[in-house]
């Protein structure tokens, strides 16, 4: 089974801090994704990556950046955390073939105070 591991389950940070959310997958998947999940809004795509050192903006990239130095690891960075970034963050990976499903981690619930 594919395993997608997010480094923290719960995180509490202060406004203005730089925050790193880490995600590792163990199945040599090409594609990796970061979504945020908010009640009533479903999942919204922040950034995704098709290959090492490649990144593409999703629907809501403002206030975020990403890093993919190795194929198995995809990091989400909040350059200066704000209270409106309090949310559940979900990392996912996929094979990269058409119709491939996404495999999700268990999520990181981030609270910015």
Residue 42 interacts with other proteins (CB under 8 A): yes or no = yes
Find the shortest distance in angstroms from Cβ 97 to other proteins.
8
Distances (CA, A) of 11 to 8, 26, 28, 39, 103: 7, 23, 27, 19, 22
Among 65, 106, 111, 113, binds other proteins (CB under 8 A): 106
Among 24, 34, 46, 48, binds other proteins (CB under 8 A): 48
Terminal C-alpha separation, the chain: 37
Tokens of 23: 């995600």
Tokens of 30: 């090409």
| Number of residues engaging other proteins in binding (CB under 8 A) | 25
Residue 52 interacts with other proteins (CB under 8 A): yes or no = no
Residue 100 interacts with other proteins (CB under 8 A): yes or no = yes
d(CA 16, CA 113) in angstroms, rounded, equals: 10
Residues that bind other proteins (CB under 8 A): 4, 31, 33, 35, 40-43, 45, 48, 58, 90, 92, 94, 96, 98-107
């Amino acid at each position: 089974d594919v395993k997608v591991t997010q480094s923290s389950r719960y995180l509490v940070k202060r406004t203005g801090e730089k925050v790193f959310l880490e995600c590792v997958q163990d199945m040599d998947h090409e594609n990796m994704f970061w979504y945020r999940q908010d009640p009533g809004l479903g999942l919204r795509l922040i950034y995704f990556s098709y290959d090492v050192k490649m990144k593409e903006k999703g629907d809501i990239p403002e206030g975020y950046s990403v890093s993919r130095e190795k194929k198995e690891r995809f990091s989400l960075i909040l350059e200066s955390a704000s209270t409106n970034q309090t949310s559940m963050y979900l990392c996912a990976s996929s094979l990269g073939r058409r119709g491939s499903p996404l495999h999700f981690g268990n999520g990181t619930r981030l609270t910015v105070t």
